Amino acid sequence: MYHVLSAHQFDRQQLDELFKTAEIMEFNARKGGLNLLGGKIMAALFFEPSTRTRFSFESAMMRLGGTVISTENAAQFSSAIKGETLEDSIRVISSYADVIVMRHNEVGAAMRAAKVATVPVINAGDGAGEHPTQSLLDLYTIQKELGRVDGLKVAMVGDLTYGRTVHSLAYLLAKYQGVKLYFVAPESCPIPEKVKAFLDEKGVEYFEETDLEKVAEIVDVLYMTRIQKERFPTQSDYERAAGVYKIDPPLLDRMKSNSIILHPLPRAGEIAPEVDDDPRAAYFRQAKNGVYIRMALLAYCLEEGMVSRDTTALESLLK
């Protein structure tokens, strides 16, 4: 069985292949789509709503000629009243679909699903765990926009404690040569020790900074993230953190001409709308790339390609 559970599961060569496939997918999508997955059904099984991610996957499946059965209300499957386990739900849905794209609120849910599924499972975010397709599309965007990843200086800005996309991207970047990371976070949400320990182990250079202006001048990629109100105990705690870092035209002026700004979206106020028209504002192109990366991953899952792994192998890999 062929699952996409974690950004960790891909090695450098597989990433190169994936990105090449994504480019081919884009080419085909622009020419009106493919019928590679005609007759195949994707189940979008969302235990919490995320219309953006769901739409991106559904669009990818349809661009490949497949069809979709979909719910953002999957919690009722294993609701308190009915008391079904996630494992039972997944076994049943394996009968209805050829691939399961799952969003869940609990860490490790994707692995649990993969262990019992009789069809491939793609993790579309499991709580504070992983959201591998997001970090893959982030990385793909960097490579596509700048032509390479090796040797780049990448700043990550915002809530670095809770932002799982930031952690996963950091792990992925560690697979490349000579990347330097700059973590710029409000005092209340620094990059976690475990991420730093990982980077230390891999020999990746990183810096914890507080001065965004200084960092903006030197980096190739400014990866901005939202400060999530729901993570903070009080409104004033939130506002203190949220107001600290912002990309606006003056900051943009300091950035290199061939740098890019990324954001997983949605944004709150951390990037001023005036920035949108600048060619370095790559975040909407980044969203679009998500469709091509997901097309590539769906094709791999259903065509028995590169991502194949049994869950035992995956599990030990992800330890």
Among 18, 22, 74, 219, binds its own copies (CB under 8 A): 74
CB of 284 to its own copies, least distance (A): 5
The H-or-E segment that residue 70 falls in is strand 67-71
280/252 Cα distance (integer angstroms):
9
| Stretch 212-241: interaction string toward its own copies, x if CB under 8 A | --------------x--xx-----------
Q: Is 118 a catalytic residue?
A: no
The CA-based diameter of the chain, rounded to the nearest angstrom, is 57
Residues 6+ apart with CB under 8 A from 39: 65, 66
Nearer to its own copies, 195 or 242 (CB): 242
Enumerate the known binding-site residues. Answer: 52-53, 82, 103, 131, 134, 164, 226, 265-266
Nearer Cβ to its own copies (57/206): 57
- Which residue lies nearer to its own copies by CB, 100 or 170? 100
Told to judge if 51 belongs to the known catalytic residues of this protein, a careful annotator would answer no
Half-sphere exposure of 12 (CA within 13 A, CB side): 8
- Distance from C-alpha of 178 to C-alpha of 152, rounded to nearest angstrom: 7
Closest CA to 185 of 154, 212, 147: 212
Q: Which of 8, 63, 153, 309 binds its own copies (CB under 8 A)?
A: 63
List binders of its own copies among 116-135 (CB under 8 A): none
Point out the catalytic residue in the list 82, 148, 214, 229: 82
267 is known as an active-site residue:
no
Q: Which of 21, 53, 133, 141 is catalytic?
A: 53
The span of 102-110, 142-150, 182-190, 264-272 binding its own copies (CB under 8 A) equals: 264-272
Could you tell me the smallest distance in angstroms from the CB atom of residue 68 to its own copies? 8
Q: Does 272 bind its own copies (CB under 8 A)?
A: no
| Distance (Å) of CA 185 to CA 28, 160, 182, 202, 231 | 40, 6, 10, 22, 14
Residue in 268, 274, 279, 313 binding its own copies, rule: CB under 8 A: 268
**71 belongs to the binding site for its own copies (CB under 8 A):** yes
Q: What type of residue sits at position 266?
A: P
List the one residue from 14, 23, 24, 59 that touches its own copies (CB under 8 A): 59
Q: How does DSSP classify residue 154?
A: E
E strands in 159-272: 180-184, 205-209, 221-224, 260-262
| Out of 1, 23, 33, 256, the residue judged to bind its own copies by CB under 8 A | 33
Q: Which element (helix H / strand E) includes 134?
A: helix 132-146
Q: How far is CA 56 from CA 51, 68, 126, in A?
A: 8, 12, 17
Residue list, annotated binding site for carbamoyl phosphate: 52-53, 103, 131, 134, 265-266
* Residue 131 annotated to the active site: yes
CA distances from 153 to 117, 141, 281, 285 (A): 40, 15, 17, 20
**From 8, 40, 54, 103, active-site residue:** 103
Q: Is 225 within 8 Å of 192 (Cβ atoms)?
A: no
56 touching its own copies, by CB under 8 A = yes
Catalytic residues: 52-53, 82, 103, 131
Residues forming contacts to its own copies in the complex (CB under 8 A) are 32-33, 39, 41, 43, 49, 51-52, 54-56, 58-59, 62-63, 67-74, 76-78, 81-85, 87-89, 91-93, 95-97, 226, 229-230, 265-269, 273, 284, 287-288, 290-291
